[in-house]
Amino acid sequence: MKPTNYFPVLGLFILIQSGQIMAAPGLSMAAAEQLALQNDPLTKSFHQHAQAFEEQAVASDQWPDPKIKFGFLSVPTDSYDLDQEPMTQLVLGYSQMIPRGDSLQHAAGFMQAKAIIKRADMALRQRTVRRNVRKAWLKVYLQEASEKIIQQNRYLFKQQLDVSQSLYAAGRKQQQDVLQAELELSLLDDQLQQIASKLDQARAGLSQWVGADAATYSLLENRQPFNTDIQHTPGSLAELLKLHPLLKKKSANISASQKQLSLARQKYSPQWGFDVTYGKRDGENMDGSDRADFLSAMVNLDVPIFTEHSQDRVVAARTKQLQARRYEKQDAFLQLQSEFEQVYARWEKLKTRLQLYDEKVLPQAKQNAVAALNGYQSGVVSFFTLTRARSAELKAKLQRLKLNVEQAIAYADIRYFAGENLMTAQLSVEAEQ
């Protein structure tokens, strides 16, 4: 008796335990979102800009550097002797300019507002990335699920071909039925080829966000039904639009303009400065006493007097810019509100249509196909009627899938406008049977 070789089995067991044999990778919608957010260069750019403005805010709130002077004053050029002349001095001076009014505080506030603008840009970009990734993922899902539905129905059409061949062999049907059944299968194969082409295009769109490798993975479907009711009224969701990053950005623009206006008004305030100089002298006076050192102290004052064509014009310009920013925010809110209402209305209509398909269209299409098959086998229904019933059932399934994906896309738009933490159900699509 030949001895059993246990080494291949043992090696397979070791590979499984070590994790070297793994299931084929899959890409869920949540994983696609995380990949896109982690790898998005624009999000990283906004983050770096925000940090840069925060650093500048700290620097803007500091006094200007003082000026130090050191040297010799009134040195005689005939001998360069420091104690020859009584005016010769070794000079050490310190001067400092004091910022106007609260200009430093407003300058720092302006930089902080710029940082908030970039933070809002980053949040807006993240919402945009999530929405675009979800839509790209759903387009891939639509083609994959359509392919599965057609493959399942191709089996039914193949069964239909077998029935027609059996009836033709028994002399009960014509050869035309067999040819028609073969044609239907060929048309389904062509439809599968079209779906394969669309699937490649959809994966190319998804690869922009998740990378070329991840875009080739099969999708991991969430089995939780997608068409869960939204636990908010349209009115309450519209209120959440006020928290949209775009409006936060507009508010930060208004704040930045206010700080610029305040800075312009500080130009009316005088700017003070002081200068302290100590002069050390060597040598003796004529009476033999040591020469006294000198101390000088001065105050500088910059007084704005001619303001009509400088400060006044700048303040007027900043005031108009501030009002323009406020109008921009109003326009942005109205645009967001209009777009949100359109998306929500589309979501509700799709929900109603899906309910119609689930309660009437799909059951009726299935019953019609079964009745047509039984009638054809009994000889009371033509093959054309049977083919039309099968095609109608397939069309209804594909249309129901398309409506489901369109509703998922509308749901992604709603979350773009109203935020992420709104719904009791996770963003997912219903697995098609």
pLDDT of res. 432:
42
Q: Do residues 396 and 365 make contact, with C-beta atoms less than 8 angstroms apart?
A: yes
Sequence ranges of the domains in the chain: 28-63+102-268+316-418, 66-98+270-303
> Which helix (H) or strand (E) segment is 409 a member of?
helix 383-418
CATH class of 28-63+102-268+316-418: mainly alpha
Q: What is the pLDDT of residue 378?
A: 80
227 or 292, greater pLDDT? 292
pLDDT at position 138 over 60: yes
CA–CA separation, 140 vs 133, rounded Å?
11
Which position has the token pair 């704005």?
304
pLDDT in tens, 170-229: 665 566 777 777 777 888 889 999 999 999 999 999 999 998 888 888 887 654 445 456
pTM, two decimals, is 0.80
**28 SS3 class:** coil
The whole-number pLDDT of residue 231 equals: 66
DSSP-derived secondary structure for 230-275: PSS-HHHHHHHGGG-HHHHHHHHHHHHHHHHHHHHHHTTS-EEEEE
Asked whether residue 8 carries a pLDDT value surpassing 60, the answer given is no
Q: Per residue in 389-433, pLDDT tens?
A: 888 999 999 999 999 999 999 999 988 998 876 554 444 455 443
- Do 270 and 303 meet the contact criterion of CB atoms below 8 Å apart? yes
pLDDT tier at 7, thresholds 50, 70, 90: very low
The pLDDT assigned to 261 comes to: 94
Higher pLDDT, 271 or 383: 271
Query: With 90 as the cut, is the pLDDT of residue 253 above it?
Result: yes
Please determine, for residue 14, whether its predicted confidence score (pLDDT) is greater than 60: no
